[in-house]
Amino acid sequence: MDRDGTGDRGAAVPGSRAARLMHMGGIAAGIAGGVVAGGLRQMAQGRRPDLHGLVLTPANARQLAEGLSHMRGAALKLGQMLSMDTGTVLPPELTAILARLRDDARPMPPKQLQRVLEAEWGRGWRTRFRQFDVRPFAAASIGQVHRAELPDGQVLAIKVQYPGVRASIDSDVDNIATLLRLPGLLPRGLDLAPLLTAAKAQLHDEADYTAEAAHLRRFGAWLAGDDAFVLPAVHDALCTGQVLAMTHVPSAPIEALEQAPQDLRDRAATRLIDLVLRELFDLGAMQTDPNLANYRVRPDTGRLVLLDFGAVRAIDPDTAAAFRALLDAGLAGDRDRTAQAMLRIGYFGAATAPAHRDLILRMFDTAMAPFRQPQPFDFAQSDLPDRLRAMGLAIGTDRDLLHVPPADTLFLHRKIGGMYLLAARLRARVDLAALVGRHRGNAAPAH
């Protein structure tokens, strides 16, 4: 989930396509008006208008972030997804604007919630529960979560999807694409179509709570014998395509470990990074949303609680093999093999200029350094994030670099980047060389 502790900022979700289109049109009109006004001011001052700077003003940033937050659904989720890129797709100013959306999701009002649950469960649905908390304890881009207690005393977490979200995915993404094509935001020849197509598919999957329930069962079965993790269990009797009912797992935010002893912080980060490698190389599927709220901890046992399996992507054996080849080449410091593997995966294309290809290769080589060192990598003390950020910005601000990596690669990087930030927040020390060594020879299962 994207947000805990929702406060009292409830706001009705625009449910119809027409209402959502009008709202998006209002955002675009507001931004365009700001651009015109700013351009006129610059011309009055004798300056040539800077279109790029006029679009990405603080006022336009607020208008875009607040407008998408109000819409929720695909509009908000796509903004969150794009904000997790590493500077290789969007300019840094736009990434910063969209980053505001990661922690900004408003719950729907109780009356709207009542209508949604009556549509899913029928009138009189409250008789199924001893207690149902109308105020959600978490709200996200696609739905919000409520605590409920059954007559037998079992406590559940009920995730309820916002109305109109599923039906508006394609139009919301298309409208966001129109905003991104405002002059000055992106390089003129940059083709975002493949990424947007993949985003639509991903969002349709995330809005299908029946599919999410299946993902939760599958990961629960995979990790059932692992004492490092605990997952909620699906409560089938209350699940629908727009309602996901699960057991409520008492836990604390993962940030609670920030004050824990070093060995506990190291163990938590090691387990989560190892899980990413298992997803990539062993399990054949990955939960690609690294939001902090999706990771919690049981204070009594130290087990990590994994939540939110809407953003699961399948990883086929060929993709796993390509990344294993890239990992082996990177560990060996073999530039030629690294370039071949990166071309195969799609980090750059055959037409990518040598200078751009060299920058991408150098960035990858820099990122591989912690995996080659014999001692544990200290996430708290390293300046590696700053160096990688600087290199990513150099790529993102190059208006001549028009290649966009495949969506699967960007989703994978989103997860890896999120794990890096989490490990840094925990000030963890992780033996990365040992971790990757366990997975280099494994083969991903067929599914």
Mean pLDDT in residue range 172-198: 67
Helical (H) or strand (E) element with 314: strand 312-314
pLDDT > 90? residue 121 = yes
Ranked by mean pLDDT, which of 6-20, 154-168, 173-187, 376-390 comes out on top?
154-168
Instruction: Give the pLDDT of residue 81.
Output: 55
What would the DSSP string read from start to end of 391-430?
HHHHHHT-TT------HHHHHHHHHHHHHHHHHHHTT-EE
pLDDT tens-place string over residues 201-238: 878 888 899 999 999 999 999 999 899 999 999 999 99
Lowest mean pLDDT among 87-101, 226-240, 378-392, 403-417: 87-101
pLDDT > 90? residue 37 = no
Residue 149 phi/psi, 5-degree rounding, is -125, 130
pTM: 0.77
Candidates 260, 231, 270; CA nearest to 422 is 270
Per-chain mean pLDDT for the chain: 78
286 close to 323: Cβ distance less than 8 angstroms:
no
Q: Which two tokens stand for residue 180?
A: 């991104």
Greatest extent of the chain over all pairs of C-alpha atoms, in Å: 74
- % of the chain exceeding 70 in pLDDT: 68
Higher pLDDT, 193 or 312: 312
315 alpha carbon, distance to own chain's centre: 17
Contacts 24+ apart (CB under 8 A), 48-53: 51/183, 51/184, 52/91, 52/184, 52/185, 53/184
Q: Using pLDDT thresholds of 50, 70 and 90, give the confidence band for residue 9.
A: low
pLDDT > 50? residue 376 = yes
Residue 38 phi/psi, 5-degree rounding, is -65, -40
pLDDT > 90? residue 258 = yes
Lowest mean pLDDT among 41-45, 313-317, 379-383: 41-45
Q: Using pLDDT thresholds of 50, 70 and 90, give the confidence band for residue 378.
A: very high
List the Cα angle 180/185/186 in 5-degree steps: 85
pLDDT > 70? residue 398 = no
List the Cα angle 42/34/84 in 5-degree steps: 110
pLDDT > 50? residue 124 = yes
Catalytically active residues are 289
Ranked by mean pLDDT, which of 20-29, 56-65, 299-308, 376-385 comes out on top?
299-308
Instruction: Give the pLDDT of residue 223.
Output: 96
Instruction: Give the pLDDT of residue 348.
Output: 85
Instruction: Give the pLDDT of residue 170.
Output: 83
pLDDT tens-place string over residues 38-97: 443 443 444 443 434 434 455 555 556 555 555 555 555 655 555 544 444 455 555 555
Helix 193-206 with 73-83: angle, nearest 10 deg: 120
